[in-house]
Amino acid sequence: MTRVLFLLALAGSLAVELTADDVAGEAKALPAGAGKELVVKLCLECHGTGHFRGQRLSPDDWSDKVYDMIDRGAKANDDEVTAVVAYLAKNFGKDSKVLVNTAPLVELKSVLGFTVAESEAVLAYRKDHPAFQEWRDLLKVPGIDPGKVEANKDLMAF
Ligand code: HEC
């Protein structure tokens, strides 16, 4: 019995595919721009955007990641790789800002340095308030560290 439960748990953890609704939601939240459609098509087949949105890499490092994904089964020709790498490097490059109104938890946490609790508070606040217009609006999020908000204001975009 224990063994069966273990196998079921294992099967569950391997089933990483997103539902069509998840894909649509995550696609909508990705920054607009050249290459986005390809990223949606090629990079959401096996996992969500959280796998890459929390990272800030150079074009070379993004290229390495994309080839790593091709090794894992992603299918893309050379032109598609070029377009996907350009999109990732532009939106999740070394100097890319965080779109605070649409960023997922992992990006708020890894790039802006919020704790999990603070990042969750931002997501919860976003649900029933109008979009943030500037960094000071984040000070209204319950439980958020104001010093951290101000220290990271230049990394935020609205
Ligand atoms: C065929 C399935 C598949 C596709 C398609 C795919 N990935 Fe992945 N990806 C994986 C697997 C498997 C892992 C590692 C296990 C996990 O964490 O889910 C992973 C992990 C990652 C990671 C985190 C690990 C690391 O090395 O930093 C990033 C970043 C990533 N993928 C980016 C992408 C991008 C960008 C694309 C689109 C070009 C993409 N993936 C398409 C299967 C895939």
Q: Using N-to-C axis directions, what is the helix angle for 116-127 and 105-112, rounded to 10°? A: 130
Q: How far is the CA of 69 from the centre of ligand 1 (A)?
A: 5
Question: What pLDDT does residue 10 have?
Answer: 47
Taking residues 112-131, report their average pLDDT. Answer: 97
> All domains of the chain, ordered by start, with CATH?
16-91 (1.10.760.10), 98-157 (1.10.150.280)
Dihedral-angle region of residue 57 (phi above 0 means left; psi in -120 to 50 means alpha; beta otherwise): beta
DSSP state of 100: T
**Test site for ligand 1: of 72, 80, 84, most ligand atoms within 8 A of the Cβ:** 72
Q: How far is the CA of 47 from the centre of ligand 1 (A)?
A: 7
The letter for the amino acid at 143 is G
Q: Which residues line ligand 1 (CB under 6 A)?
A: 16, 42-43, 45-47, 51-52, 55, 65-66, 68-69, 72-74, 84, 88
Q: Write down how long the chain is.
A: 158
Question: What pLDDT does residue 18 have?
Answer: 82
87 has a pLDDT exceeding 60: yes
Question: What pLDDT does residue 13 have?
Answer: 46
What would you measure as the largest C-alpha separation in the chain, in angstroms?
A: 54
Question: What pLDDT does residue 150 have?
Answer: 98
Question: What pLDDT does residue 122 have?
Answer: 98
Q: How far is the CA of 57 from the centre of ligand 1 (A)?
A: 15
Q: Which residue has the higher pLDDT, 4 or 33?
A: 33
Question: What pLDDT does residue 11 have?
Answer: 47
List, for residues 12-61, the tens digit of each pLDDT value: 444 457 888 888 999 999 999 999 999 999 999 999 999 999 999 999 99
95 has a pLDDT exceeding 80: yes
- Single pTM value for the model: 0.89
Ligand 1: nearest atom to the Cα of 84? 38
Taking residues 70-88, report their average pLDDT. Answer: 97
Question: What pLDDT does residue 12 have?
Answer: 46
